[in-house]
Chain A
Amino acid sequence: MFDFLDLQRYDLFGAFWVTAQLAVFSAIGSLVWGTILAGMRVSPVPLMRVFGTAYVNIVRNTPLTVIILFTSLGLFQTLGIAMGGESFKETNFRLAVLGLTAYTAAFVCEALRSGINTVPVGQAEAARALGLSFTQVLRLVVLPQAFRSVIAPLANVLIALTKNTTVAAAIGVAEAALLMKRMIENEAQVFLIGGIFALGFILLTLPTGLLLGWVSKRVAVKR
């Protein structure tokens, strides 16, 4: 029954490994870029606030597929930006990470901003009363508390990101969805193949959700 599962021909674990790598690299990238964006959105400099708001609103309303496809067709094939990748494989992977990061950062920014909203006003007032500057208020008082309260929303973002890595198949990154497309076109056992890939994604997302749900309860600021 499982004859079709020729692991020599279909590198199932390799594909899910690429999916996991895409998710991890994009998660790190979008956390950094999303935090910077959130900082801009609450900063005292009006121009930065405008930029942050515009970025989030534009990116949130653009399909991820458009962004990912643009990195390949637009950035790479038209403008020749290869992100230092030496082979097609490497370039496409990096472009996919770039696209996923640019997209996910908007959602990280929104999650962080709602986290900043949960920090009581008194905290920032007290920090300012001590004479801390804006960056100090943000870095030492507000963001540490905000991060702790947004672990659950960020876990949602991470799970969505894991699912969204499948879009990288659109530019030929050899991850799970692309392998599934190839297998499902060549083999007859549609239900089994679908089941295997569904299980793979459930195995990737379920532990993330449970673990981060547990962490968010542990670190939540008790008020």
Chain B
Amino acid sequence: MSNLSVLYDAPGPKAKARNILYTVLFLVVFVAVLWWALAAMADKGQLDANKWSPFVTDSRVWTTFLLPALGNTLKAAALSIVIALPLGAILGIGRLSDHRWVRIPCGAVVEFFRAIPVLLLMLFASALYVQFTDISSELRPLYAVVTGLVLYNASVIAEVVRSGILSLPRGQTDAAQAIGMRKGQAMTHVLLPQSVTAMLPALVSQLVVVVKDTALGGVMLNFEELLRSVRTISANYGANTIAAFTVVALIFIVLNFLLTSAATWLERRIRRGKRTTGAVVTIDPTDAMEADQLGRPAIKTKQPSTPDEQGRLDG
């Protein structure tokens, strides 16, 4: 049911009147809640112009606090994804191996790290670095955050890679073997290049999860990222907590919205394309929450062939 208007009849005069009534009621409730929130904020002086104006008038808020913090967020996210990609590819391909002694350990690693909260991985990594290495205390939070994110996301990417390769028609492997390629050659010359296009959207949306998770490091490990700048800004600009939160949240939302849009655009483009199989690995919307189910591949492959499926995706 992609066209949800099947749930109700085309409105007649009575239904139209009722819809208008509901619209008005909803507006009243919405405005009441908004009013209550604004009144509470005004009561504590959070709406005062001097709490919000620094973000427009004082460029130092951006140059000293927000932009360097955003830079750190992006740095951690970029490092994590760059390290996690090859690791995840190795794990994912390992899981498809014909040899049990490769397949089972790879599967165990993937399932283990997917089952553990990424915050625990970060805390654990931080403690490891304290105890066994002499990384300076300024750099340690970055290392710990990246390590935690890499461990978790490599295992998610492994699943993406695995389902991407499995989405290819069986004939590709057969054909590669028929012209005398070894298993490794078939993987690097035939399967991987084709499945990359199918995986691309899922990988881009995984970036959203990575960006969101860097904020954990700010709170729990004192990593100087975007969310942490809320505290420093509100300490320097007269306790403008609400304003600082709003701006930081907006930056996160815009950044992630751009990434999500890129993923959707890529998915449409690949699905339309003629040179690929048209299969796209998608992370279920519910999994973007960063969740996957143990023991069952949470990441699905959508084949473009059935009309039902195509209709559903537009919804």
Contacts and interface: CB of A to CB of B under 8 A. Distances in A.
B294 A159 contact: yes
Interface residues of B, number: 74
B124 A155 contact: no
A67 to B, nearest CB: 8
Contacts of B285: 107, 110-111, 114
Nearest to B256: A61
A120 interface: yes
Contacts of B46: 78-79
Nearest to B41: A79
Interface stretch (B112-120, B135-143, B165-173): B112-120
A201 B120 contact: yes
A104 B312 CA distance: 23
Interface in A116-143: 116-121, 124-125, 128, 133-134, 137-138, 142
A129 to B, nearest CB: 10
Interface stretch (B3-11, B62-70, B90-98, B192-200): B3-11
Contact of A152 (B26, B128, B208, B293): B293
B40 A79 contact: yes
A170 interface: yes
Given A166-B119, A206-B294, A63 B252 contact: yes
B295 to A, nearest CB: 7
B298 interface: yes
Given A45-B26, A63-B252, A156-B298, A107 B245 contact: no
B1 interface: yes
Given A124-B1, A184-B124, A190-B124, A61 B287 contact: no
Interface in B243-268: 245, 248-249, 252-253, 256-257, 260
- Secondary structure dominating the interface of A: helix
A185 interface: yes
A25 to B, nearest CB: 18
Interface in A72-89: 73-74, 77-81
A167 interface: yes
- Secondary structure dominating the interface of B: helix
Contacts of A111: 285-286
A1 interface: no
B116 A201 contact: yes
Contact of B8 (A110, A114, A137): A137
Interface in B43-97: 43-44, 46
A21 interface: no
Given A65-B219, A66-B245, A169 B119 contact: yes
B230 interface: yes
A104 B289 CA distance: 8
Interface in A185-204: 185, 188, 190, 193-194, 197-198, 201-202
Nearest to A163: B117
A37 interface: no
A91 interface: no
B243 to A, nearest CB: 10
Nearest to B292: A156
A65 B22 contact: no
Interface string B208-247: 1001111110111000000100110000000101100100
Shortest 3 CB-CB distances between A and B: which pairs? Answer: A160-B291, A61-B256, A63-B212
Interface of A: 42, 44-48, 51, 57-58, 60-66, 69-70, 73-74, 77-81, 104, 107, 110-111, 113-114, 116-121, 124-125, 128, 133-134, 137-138, 142, 152-157, 159-161, 163-164, 166-167, 169-170, 176-177, 180-181, 184-185, 188, 190, 193-194, 197-198, 201-202, 205-206, 209-210, 213
25 contacts: A44-B19, A51-B30, A58-B253, A62-B212, A63-B211, A66-B245, A66-B249, A78-B242, A111-B286, A114-B285, A117-B1, A118-B1, A137-B7, A156-B293, A157-B291, A160-B290, A163-B291, A164-B117, A166-B119, A166-B120, A170-B219, A180-B123, A180-B124, A184-B123, A202-B115
